[in-house]
Amino acid sequence: MNKSAMVYDRPTRVGGSFRDPSGHVYRQGDRIFRTVTNAGKEQFDFVRRSGLFELLIREGRLLPFELIDGPLSSASDGMDESVSYVLEVPKITFVSFPYEWSFPALKAAALLHLDIQLTSLDYNVTLSDASAYNIQFIGATPTFIDHLSFRRYEQGEMWAGHRQFCEQFLSPLLLRSLFGISHNAWYRGSLEGISVIELSRLLTWRHYLKKDLLTHIVLQSWLQRSTVSTLQGQGLNKTTVREGTIPMQAYRKLLTGLRHWISGIEPLQISKSTWQDYAKENSYQAGELGEKAAFVRDFAAQHRPRQLWDFGCNAGVFSKAALEGGAEYVVGFDFDQGALDRCYAEARKDQLPIQSIVMDMANVSPDQGWMGIEREGLGARRSADALVALAVVHHLAISRNIPFGELLDWLVDLAPCGVIEFVPKTDPMVQKLLALRADIFEDYTWGFFTDRIAQKARIDRVLKVGQQGRTLVSYIRHGYEGIRREHPP
């Protein structure tokens, strides 16, 4: 299917799209384009003719694309390269990165990659790399996005992306499965994944008895060390490594065995995470939880946001309430692994448009990578129409010493309307936070809270919940009072 080009403004190349000379990704307003350069045309044509693209798109495993019709040139279309094709692909609602995924999300992405590899071999096609960044999430469903990673399979070739798969998928999963350590902070500091050399240093002799660990971590670590020795001129015959062969049957067996192993990997349960059971073990009553959910549901029904951010989403109770009210898509943020594991599992089970993101709101993902733009930070990806922050601000203000006024300003600036919960110092939870420290938070008051929000927004509704003084406030930022008319029921 072809689609006419309607290019009015110069497209801008996406910062993370620079490694592959066979094509690049461009952004133009809300439209996303992918070029296929002359260097990538032959492989793209082969895979396209094979029927693999159609199958994977039909099954929802590959992002669909449309060919832009008509002659295209660098000069007329503003793309800094000569291209054979331009594809238009749907815009991902919220772009996320592997270091922001929960354990079950990363596991689902790993299994998707292996499933696509196995299916591709049926079409005499393979994947040229194993980058986890080639996968994005639509709700809780992983989707492969890189159409140029596919190429013709050469008989007997080794799995070129084996070590990359181990470092970007397997090592992070094993870190939590074997040692109970979440991958996110380590991964964020090392964008190419967790090195097999570093992970192998954590293994004990007990681990060496496991065949899968030997094959995919220890052996890969040895190969990596050997490569380093080669680069240092220490005599390894690198030609042997580069030109090694593996029969197709053995290649399939390797992928199938790895898939079976990963499908059975689960997080090591050392103890429950801090907020894993917060939805059941909080300091307010079940009726109060219902009141808060109803407030969020009514707020979503009033504004019908296309994208709502739920800070401190926990297991997704209020994310679901927002969807029930009319929100189209929810991105839920939390730093608690146990809670987010549950949030992801329930969204996946019920096929809800909830995307769960591991993130500490006092330390959000920054711009990083090549030139500081390869992986955009949260600020650059700001795309919410509304936000919800329940049972959050007192933790940031009191536990983390985030200036209360700056915190409220930041929240109100993130989306044109929202709901924020104020928890007074008399609440048992805040009393716990203050129990072991001096109360230096003079501005943490109801008056300061409402006055600060009112500087930027009109307070729309207020609801006191229960006897402890917890209060929900919904607001509409100045200049956005017409937001309801923009998204009518």
Return all residues near 109 (Cβ < 8 A) that are at least 6 apart. 98, 101, 132, 135, 137, 142, 169
Say what the pLDDT of residue 211 is. 87
Q: Could you state, in chain order, the average pLDDT of each consecutive group of 10 residues for the chain (489 residues)? A: 54 86 89 92 96 98 89 52 89 97 98 98 96 97 97 92 96 96 96 94 88 87 73 53 76 96 91 60 70 97 97 96 98 95 96 97 96 94 96 94 97 98 93 89 96 97 90 95 51
Say what the pLDDT of residue 488 is. 38
Parallel, antiparallel or unpaired: strands 417-422 and 470-477: antiparallel
Gap between the Cα atoms of 244 and 242, Å rounded: 6
What tokens appear for 224 in the block?
């990596």
Nearest Cα to 216, choosing from 238, 237, 202, 199?
199
Backbone angles phi, psi at 3, to 5 degrees: -140, 140
SS3 labels along the chain: CEEECCCCCCCEECCCCCCCCCCCEEEECCEEEEEEEHHHHHHHHHHHHHCHHHHHHHCCCECCCEEEECCCCHHHHCCCCCEEEEEEECCCCCCCCHHHCCHHHHHHHHHHHHHHHHHHHHCCEEECCCCHHHEEEECCEEEECCHHHEEECCCCECCCCHHHHHHHHHHHHHHHHHHCCCCHHHHHHCCCCCCHHHHHHHCCCCHHHCHHHHHHHHHHHHHHHHHHHHHCCCCCCHHHHHCCECCHHHHHHHHHHHHHHHHCCCCCCCCCCCCCCCCCCCCCCHHHHHHHHHHHHHHHHHHCCCCEEEECCCCCHHHHHHHHHCCCCEEEEECCHHHHHHHHHHHHHHCCCEEEEECECCECCCCECHHHCCECCCCCCCCCCEEEECCCHHHHHHHCCCCHHHHHHHHHHHCCEEEEEECCCCCHHHHHHHCCCCCCCCCCCHHHHHHHHHHHEEEEEEEEECCCCEEEEEEEECCCCCHHHHCCC
CA Rg value for the chain: 25
C-beta neighbour count of 197 within 10 angstroms: 16
Say what the pLDDT of residue 278 is. 61
Say what the pLDDT of residue 484 is. 53
Q: Give the rounded distance of the alpha carbon of 217 from its chain centre.
A: 25
Enter the pTM of the model: 0.90
Sheet holding 2-4, edge to edge: 2-4, 66-69, 83-89, 31-37, 25-28, 12-13
